[in-house]
Structure 1
Amino acid sequence: MSSKGIQVETVEDVEAHRIETIDGTAPPAGVDKALRVLKAADGPVHISDEDDKRLLRKIDLHILPIMLFGYMLQQLDKSSLSYTSVFGLAKDANLKGNEYSNLGSAIYWLQVAAQPTTAYALVKLPPAKFMGINILCWGVVLCCSAIAKNYTGLLICRILMGAFEATIAPTYVALVAMWWRRAEQSNRNAAWYCMNGVAAMFGSLIAYGLGHIQSKLHSYQIIFLFTGCLTIVFSIVILLFLPDSPLTARFLTEQERIMVIERLRHNQMGIETNVWKWEQVLETALDLKTYVWMLLLFCVSVVSGGISTFGPLIIQEFGFTSFQTILLNIPSGFVQIMIVLIAGFVATRMKLKSPILMFAILGSLVGCIMIRFIDRTPSHRGVLLFAYYLLQFFTAITPMTYSWATQNTAGETKKKCTNAAIFLGQYAGNIVGPLLYSSKQAPLYRTGLTINMCMFAALVGLIVMAVLTLKVLNRKHAATRVSMGKSAQINDLSMAVHNYNVDDAGEAYDVDNAFRDLTDKKNEDFIYVF
Structure 2
Amino acid sequence: MEKHADKTTAASIREGSHDDVDKAYEFAKQHAVGPLDDDDNKRILRKIDRNLLPLMIITYTLNFMDKNALSYSANFGLSTDNNLVGNQYNWASGSIFYLAYMVSQPVVARLIVRFPIGRFVATATMLWGAVLMTTAASRSFASLMTIRAILGCLESCINPAFIVISAQWWTRTEQPLRISYWYLGNSIGQVCGGLLGYGIAHITNPTVPNWAWFFLIFGAITILYGSFLFYYLPDSPLNARWLSEHDRALAIERVRENRTGVENHVWKWSQFKECMLDVQCWLLVATFFLDDIPAGGVGSFGSIVVKGFGYSPLYSTLLLVPLGVIQAICILFGGFMTKRFKNIRTWLIAGCQVPALIGAVLLYTLPRENQRGLLGSYYVVQTHGIVGTLTMSLVSSNFAGYTKKATASAMMYVAFCVGQVAAPQLFIPSETPAFKTAFLAAFICFALCIIFTIVLRFYLIWENKRRDNLVLAEGELYVFDDEFLDLTDKQQKVVFRYVL
Q: TM-score range by the shorter chain?
A: over 0.9
1:95-139 deviations in Å (ceiling 9; x for gaps): 100000001221111111111111111111101111111111111
Task: Give SS of 1:57's match.
Answer: helix
| Equivalent residues of 1:365, 1:391 under 8 A apart | yes
How many angstroms apart in 1 are the aligned matches of 2:415 and 2:352?
20
The two structures have a TM-score, normalised by structure 1, of: 0.89
Aligned 1:91-110 pairs, distance under 5 A: 91-104=80-93, 105-110=95-100
1:275 aligns with 2:266: yes
The alpha carbon displacement at 1:27 in A equals 5.3
| Equivalent residues of 1:270, 1:410 under 8 A apart | yes
Equivalent position of 1:128 in the other structure: 118
1:413-458 deviations in Å (ceiling 9; x for gaps): 1111111111110111111111110332112100111011110111
1:392-413 deviations in Å (ceiling 9; x for gaps): 1111111110001221111111
The two structures have a TM-score, normalised by structure 2, of: 0.94
Name stretches of at least 5 consecutive residues in structure 1 with no aligned partner.
Answer: 1-20, 487-507
How many angstroms apart in 1 are the aligned matches of 2:29 and 2:329?
43
How many angstroms apart in 2 are the aligned matches of 1:280 and 1:97?
45
Aligned residues: 485
Equivalent position of 2:143 in the other structure: 153
1:189-246 deviations in Å (ceiling 9; x for gaps): 1111121111111111111111111112112111110001111111101101000000
1:53 aligns with 2:42: yes
| Equivalent residues of 2:355, 2:383 under 8 A apart | yes
Task: Give SS of 2:211's match.
Answer: helix
Equivalent position of 1:466 in the other structure: 456
1:365 aligns with 2:357: yes
The alpha carbon displacement at 1:49 in A equals 1.1
Equivalent position of 2:3 in the other structure: none
Aligned match for 1:374, one of 366, 385, 394: 366
Name stretches of at least 5 consecutive residues in structure 2 with no aligned partner.
Answer: 1-10
Aligned match for 2:215, one of 224, 243, 251: 224
The alpha carbon displacement at 1:163 in A equals 0.5
Between 443-452 and 463-472, report the one with greater CA deviation. 463-472
Aligned match for 1:526, one of 492, 496, 500: 496
| Equivalent residues of 2:290, 2:448 under 8 A apart | yes
How many angstroms apart in 1 are the aligned matches of 2:422 and 2:329?
27
Amino acid at match of 1:218: P
| Equivalent residues of 1:139, 1:231 under 8 A apart | yes
Between 476-485 and 266-275, report the one with greater CA deviation. 476-485
Aligned match for 1:426, one of 411, 416, 428: 416
Q: CA RMSD in A?
A: 1.6
Equivalent position of 1:350 in the other structure: 341
The alpha carbon displacement at 1:513 in A equals 2.8
1:38-88 deviations in Å (ceiling 9; x for gaps): 21135x613121111110010011111111111100100011011011213
1:127-153 deviations in Å (ceiling 9; x for gaps): 111111111111111111000012111
Amino acid at match of 2:218: T
Equivalent position of 1:307 in the other structure: 298
Aligned match for 1:257, one of 231, 248, 273: 248
| Equivalent residues of 2:464, 2:497 under 8 A apart | yes
Identity %: 32
Amino acid at match of 1:519: T
The alpha carbon displacement at 1:511 in A equals 5.7
Equivalent position of 1:514 in the other structure: 483
Between 24-33 and 236-245, report the one with greater CA deviation. 24-33
How many angstroms apart in 2 are the aligned matches of 1:149 and 1:396?
38
| Equivalent residues of 2:124, 2:155 under 8 A apart | yes
| Equivalent residues of 1:364, 1:390 under 8 A apart | yes
The alpha carbon displacement at 1:286 in A equals 1.0
1:180 aligns with 2:170: yes
| Equivalent residues of 1:27, 1:36 under 8 A apart | no
The alpha carbon displacement at 1:24 in A equals 8.7
Aligned 1:349-498 pairs, distance under 5 A: 349-351=340-342, 352-377=344-369, 380-486=370-476
| Equivalent residues of 2:187, 2:325 under 8 A apart | yes
How many angstroms apart in 1 are the aligned matches of 2:316 and 2:361?
21
Amino acid at match of 2:488: T
How many angstroms apart in 2 are the aligned matches of 1:409 and 1:314?
38
Between 85-94 and 224-233, report the one with greater CA deviation. 85-94
The alpha carbon displacement at 1:25 in A equals 4.4
How many angstroms apart in 1 are the aligned matches of 2:360 and 2:400?
36
How many angstroms apart in 1 are the aligned matches of 2:412 and 2:204?
44
Amino acid at match of 1:195: G
Amino acid at match of 1:228: G
1:147-185 deviations in Å (ceiling 9; x for gaps): 001211111110000010110111111111111001110
In structure 2, relative to structure 1, the CA distance for the partners of 1:511 and 1:237 (3 Å cut) is farther
Equivalent position of 1:238 in the other structure: 229
| Equivalent residues of 2:163, 2:395 under 8 A apart | no
